[in-house]
Structure 1
Amino acid sequence: MFRPVPVPALPPSTALADLTATGDDHAWLAGTTGVFTSRPSAPLILRWTGTAWRVEDLPGIAAAASLAGISATGPDDVWAVGNSAGRPLVLHWDGTRWHLRTPPAIPWAKAVLALAPDDVHVVGAGPDVLHWDGTDWHRTAVLSSDREGLQTVTATGPDDIWAGGAGLAGVGPATYEYPVLVRRTATGWHEVRGPHVDHGHVTRLAVATPEDVWLAHVHGSDGLAVHRWDGERWRPAPLPAESGRLSLHGVAAGWTWGVRTTRHSFETHPAFHRWTGTAWQDVPLPDSLARTPASHVGLATAGDTTWAYLKTAAGVHVLRHTGP
């Protein structure tokens, strides 16, 4: 079962975006405050110190800003990305304080993958990927069209990186979305064939091993579908069996999460599932949260610890699951 961990009181205008963890005692949660208010939005990062969650002191940013992704290699190397004043926003934690890093411009930063202090990748809208080599930023075009972009990135190592997103085809009412998938090997970035789907977008990628890659794909009213790469081909994975309507939001290696609604209700309740090897198993929440409408649901794993977050009318909640 997930067990709640106390978090500092946060404004009702808080929106949660992403979570990363590097071990039992180190995790970070990224989001934005001031959403849908008259005040400029501002980036927010919570850090787990091993005993408590605390709000981080971030560098001052003159314009409204938001965070979309966060990734860490260890307790002294954490990267968060978002956007401010039409440019990508990059923050780096060195174990002592947060610093602003100024990358080349891309239309919109959506996700970051930190593999080492000198090997960081940022993806977002548009065909380019940004890479930090420890000294300089480099921008590389990895997609073939300006109407294509990436929103998720994962890896088994520096020479096996996967990124996915979507492109737009057609014009006007005939416009539709199609999934895109790229992979970086020792020879560079290449477009690769994903699951056999023609419409929608890749919303999440996660890696267990080079022969076990998890992909979440969304297509309109069909919702989210899960596929797995076995080293040779993509295979569809079954979806969790739920009463009512289940809207999946993301997938990790062996986990998926989202919200469920009951019949004749528009309230969304958090739902987390773990893969047993043959089927999905619902992971229970404390009764008070299981019955409470929620949004902004997410999850990250590190070793035997899984962190999850969700937002209710009462505020932000962080939960911890340890062991099998």
Structure 2
Amino acid sequence: MFRPVPVPVLPPSTALADLATAGEHHAWLAGTTGVFTSRPSAPLVLSWTGETWREERLPDLPAAASLSGVSATAPDDVWAVGNSAGRPLVLHYDGASWHTVTTPPLAWAKAVTAVGDTDVHIVGTGRDALHYDGARWHLRPALSSARENLQTVTASAPHDVWAGGGGLAGAGPATYEYPVLTHWDGHTWTDVTAPRLERGHVARLAAAAPDDVWLGHVRDTEGMRLHHWNGRDWTAVPGPGDTERLNVHGVAAGWTWGVRAGRRSFETRPAFHRWTGAGWTPVALPDDLARTSASHVGLATTGATTWAYLKTAAGVHVLRHTDP
């Protein structure tokens, strides 16, 4: 079962975006405060101290800003990305404090993945990707068409980075979205013909190893369709079954998350499922959260520890699941 842990009181205007872990005892949650208010939005990072979650002190920024992604390789190497004043906002934590990092321009930074302190990839809502090699940043096209854009990125090694998103085809009323996937081998981005996806876009990628990559593909309002890479082939993975209306929002290595609603209800209650090797099994939540409408649901896992987050009318909740 997921069990709640203490979280600082955050304003109702808080939006949660992404969660990252580094080992069993270190985790970071990124988001934004001041969303849909008259005040400028501001980036937010919470970190796990071993006993509670605390709000991190971030650099002062001259303009409104937001965070959309976070990645960590070690307790002293954490990256968070977002946007401020029309430019990418890149923050780095070195174990002592957070600093802003100057990069080449990138259209609306969406996601980041770090393999080490000398190997970081950032993608945004365009076809380009940023790569930090430990000395400098490089801006390279990762997709072949200007009508394609990236939304998600993951890596298991410096030579094994996946990024995905969608493109537009057709014109006028006949315009439709199609999924795109590309792979970095340490030198070049290459378009991948992969899994047999129809219309929609690749919304989520998660790599645990070169032969263990999970992909979430969205093509309608019914949530994600799931696929798995075993190092040779992509295979479709049946989604979790549910007696109610289940909408899967994300996938991690061996986990999914989303919300469910009754047949005659618009309330969206949080739902987390774990892969058994043959199918998905639901993971229980405390009764009060299992019955509560929730949004901003997410998850990250490492080793025996899995963290989950969600937002309800009562505020932000963070939960921990530990294997026996």
Q: Does 1:276 align with 2:271?
A: no
CA distance in structure 1 between the partners assigned to 2:165 and 2:100 by the alignment: 26
Cα deviation, residue 186, structure 1: 3.9
Cα deviation, residue 154, structure 1: 1.1
One-letter code aligned to 2:265: S
One-letter code aligned to 2:139: R
Alignment of 1:49-68 (within 5 A): 49-68=49-68
Match of 1:292 in 2: 292
Match of 2:191 in 1: 191
Question: Contact 2:17–2:67 (CA<8 Å) still a contact in 1?
Answer: yes
Task: After superposition, give the CA deviation of every residue in 1:268-302 in whole Å (9 maximum; x if it has no partner).
Answer: 00000000110100000000000000000000011
CA distance in structure 2 between the partners assigned to 1:210 and 1:164 by the alignment: 16
Question: Contact 1:24–1:50 (CA<8 Å) still a contact in 2?
Answer: no
Cα deviation, residue 162, structure 1: 0.8
Q: Residue 221 of structure 2: SS of its match in structure 1?
A: helix
Match of 1:136 in 2: 136
Task: After superposition, give the CA deviation of every residue in 1:84-112 in whole Å (9 maximum; x if it has no partner).
Answer: 11111000001111000111111110000
CA distance in structure 2 between the partners assigned to 1:203 and 1:113 by the alignment: 15
Match of 2:119 in 1: 119
Q: Does 1:107 align with 2:118?
A: no
Cα deviation, residue 28, structure 1: 0.2
Question: Contact 1:213–1:229 (CA<8 Å) still a contact in 2?
Answer: yes
Please, which runs of 5 or more residues in structure 1 have no aligned partner?
A: none
Bigger CA drift: 116-125 or 214-223?
214-223
CA distance in structure 2 between the partners assigned to 1:24 and 1:227 by the alignment: 27
Q: Residue 289 of structure 1: SS of its match in structure 2?
A: helix
Q: Residue 173 of structure 1: SS of its match in structure 2?
A: helix
Question: Contact 2:143–2:191 (CA<8 Å) still a contact in 1?
Answer: yes
Cα deviation, residue 187, structure 1: 4.1
Cα deviation, residue 198, structure 1: 2.3
Match of 1:239 in 2: 239
Bigger CA drift: 190-199 or 88-97?
190-199
Q: Does 1:266 align with 2:289?
A: no
Q: Residue 104 of structure 2: SS of its match in structure 1?
A: coil
One-letter code aligned to 1:240: P
In the superposition, relative to structure 1, how do residues 2 and 222 fare at CA in structure 2: closer, same or farther (>3 Å)? closer
- TM-score, normalised to structure 2, is 0.98
Task: After superposition, give the CA deviation of every residue in 1:50-71 in whole Å (9 maximum; x if it has no partner).
Answer: 1111001111111111000000
One-letter code aligned to 2:300: A
Q: Does 1:17 align with 2:17?
A: yes
CA distance in structure 1 between the partners assigned to 2:198 and 2:3 by the alignment: 40
Q: Does 1:315 align with 2:315?
A: yes
Question: Contact 1:308–1:318 (CA<8 Å) still a contact in 2?
Answer: yes
Q: Does 1:2 align with 2:2?
A: yes
| Percentage of identical aligned residues | 67
Match of 1:306 in 2: 306
One-letter code aligned to 2:28: W
Question: Contact 2:80–2:92 (CA<8 Å) still a contact in 1?
Answer: yes
Match of 1:86 in 2: 86
Match of 1:159 in 2: 159
CA distance in structure 1 between the partners assigned to 2:270 and 2:308 by the alignment: 10
CA distance in structure 1 between the partners assigned to 2:223 and 2:277 by the alignment: 23
In the superposition, relative to structure 1, how do residues 222 and 316 fare at CA in structure 2: closer, same or farther (>3 Å)? closer
Question: Contact 1:122–1:129 (CA<8 Å) still a contact in 2?
Answer: yes
Question: Contact 1:110–1:152 (CA<8 Å) still a contact in 2?
Answer: yes
Q: Residue 288 of structure 1: SS of its match in structure 2?
A: helix
- TM-score, normalised to structure 1, is 0.98
Q: Does 1:170 align with 2:170?
A: yes
Q: Residue 20 of structure 1: SS of its match in structure 2?
A: strand
Question: Contact 1:256–1:274 (CA<8 Å) still a contact in 2?
Answer: yes
When the two structures are aligned, how many residues end up with a matched partner?
324
Cα deviation, residue 220, structure 1: 1.6
Question: Contact 2:31–2:67 (CA<8 Å) still a contact in 1?
Answer: yes
Cα deviation, residue 217, structure 1: 0.2
Question: Contact 2:222–2:247 (CA<8 Å) still a contact in 1?
Answer: no
Question: Contact 2:20–2:72 (CA<8 Å) still a contact in 1?
Answer: yes
Bigger CA drift: 130-139 or 61-70?
130-139
One-letter code aligned to 1:167: G
Q: Residue 90 of structure 1: SS of its match in structure 2?
A: strand
CA distance in structure 2 between the partners assigned to 1:208 and 1:24 by the alignment: 15
One-letter code aligned to 2:155: A
Cα deviation, residue 237, structure 1: 0.5
Cα deviation, residue 184, structure 1: 0.9
Cα deviation, residue 223, structure 1: 2.6
Question: Contact 2:114–2:155 (CA<8 Å) still a contact in 1?
Answer: no
Q: Residue 220 of structure 1: SS of its match in structure 2?
A: coil
